[in-house]
Amino acid sequence: MSFRVLATARSFCTTPGPHHDYLRDHDCQVDLRPPDHPLSAAELAALIPGYDGVILGLDVCDASVIAAADRLRVISRYGAGYDKVDLEAATQRGIVVTNTPGANRIAVAELAIGLMFSLARRIPQVAANARQGIWSRAQGWELTGKTLGLIGLGAIGREVAQRALALGMRVLAYDPYVSGTVDGVTLVGLDTLLREAHIVSLHCAATPETVNLMDAARLAQMRPGAYLVNTARGDLVDEDALYQALVSGQLAGAASDVFRHEPPEGSPLLALDNFIATLHMGSTTAESVERMALMAAQNLVAVLRGEPCPYVLNPAALSRQE
């Protein structure tokens, strides 16, 4: 039996590797359609009819898309996050949703640490000055001895913690879903973390409870002159409030790999000298792409063939398929 599969995740589509061979070897006819930007619900709804499975990046897959899917059995998310997929609507239609947890944890953790170094030594600003012939050194500061506050202590948060501890940092973490002890990490309440951390790094999912988690009030709770790093989801931060905190000097700097609207064209944050932007590249390393791509392909094939899949997000959909 042959399966029709649509893939829109950009690096999945454009990077050669075993994931393409895996799909072909398991009777999947794949349409690779990498867009220039994450697809809107309307754009995805226009594409999705006629497909048995889909491999999505950051595309919006809401109830309108689910309604347009006339034969879809599986949505394989290329990545760990699934906030763009309407799980309830998919479950009602018997459409299984999967993800690739942990596949990008090293890549994102290393970027988070890299952004901390960039903030500490003003690397992007100094490099830009050098290109313009401005030979002006900036006095930076050392990560060693500083307190790092992690909001979220899942797979990525723990990778960041390991690296920060190796640098000689004190590591605090807030995660309401983690209890007990984590080697070298002190679990604290959110208020304590914001008050004590020199750097706050976000590593939690975007949920109704965490949207605008870092609003004006929480940014004001942070240690004066602290730094904020976001490699998780743009929805976690009130960007207007962050702008005001950076302009006023309440925060000394911030770095973000994610934005509420991507690309963040016209965002006033991009004009600030104490703000560093990267464009959702956290998981984009050769190693991470290969891991995520193969996992996404394996998840999709397992569901289509009725085989066990360990990364199903809505197991109730499996019973509806049966």
- Confirm if 60 and 40 have CB atoms less than 8 A apart: yes
CA pair distance 53, 234, nearest whole angstrom: 28
Is pLDDT above 80 for 95?
Answer: yes
Weakest mean pLDDT among 60-74, 123-137, 195-209: 123-137
Task: Give the pLDDT band (50/70/90) at residue 319.
Answer: confident
- Residue 107: which of 292, 259, 236 has the closest Cα? 292
CA pair distance 322, 317, nearest whole angstrom: 9
Q: What is the pLDDT of residue 181?
A: 84
Task: Give the pLDDT band (50/70/90) at residue 322.
Answer: low
CA pair distance 165, 233, nearest whole angstrom: 24
Q: With DSSP H G I counted as helix, E B as strand and the rest as coil, what are the percentages for the chain, rounded to 5?
A: 40, 20, 45
CA pair distance 174, 250, nearest whole angstrom: 22
What is the mean predicted confidence (pLDDT) over 180-192?
Answer: 94
DSSP label of 234: G
Burial class (CB in 10 A: 0-12, 13-18, 19+), 31: middle
What is the number of other CB atoms lying within 10 angstroms of the CB of residue 139? 6
- Residue 50: which of 6, 107, 84 has the closest Cα? 6
What is the mean predicted confidence (pLDDT) over 120-131?
Answer: 94
Is pLDDT above 80 for 262?
Answer: yes
What is the mean predicted confidence (pLDDT) over 221-247?
Answer: 98
Buried b (16+ CB within 10 A) or exposed e, 91-110: bebbbbbbbbbbbbbbbbbb
Give the residue numbers marked as catalytic: 233, 262, 280
Q: What is the pLDDT of residue 138?
A: 83
Q: Which residues contact residue 54 at a Cβ distance below 8 angstroms, ignoring those fewer than 6 apart?
A: 5, 6, 7, 8, 48, 72, 74, 75, 76
- Confirm if 147 and 170 have CB atoms less than 8 A apart: yes
CA pair distance 251, 219, nearest whole angstrom: 8
DSSP label of 38: P
Is pLDDT above 90 for 167?
Answer: yes
Q: What is the pLDDT of residue 220?
A: 98
Question: What's the start-to-end Cα distance of the chain, in Å?
Answer: 18
Q: What is the pLDDT of residue 321?
A: 73
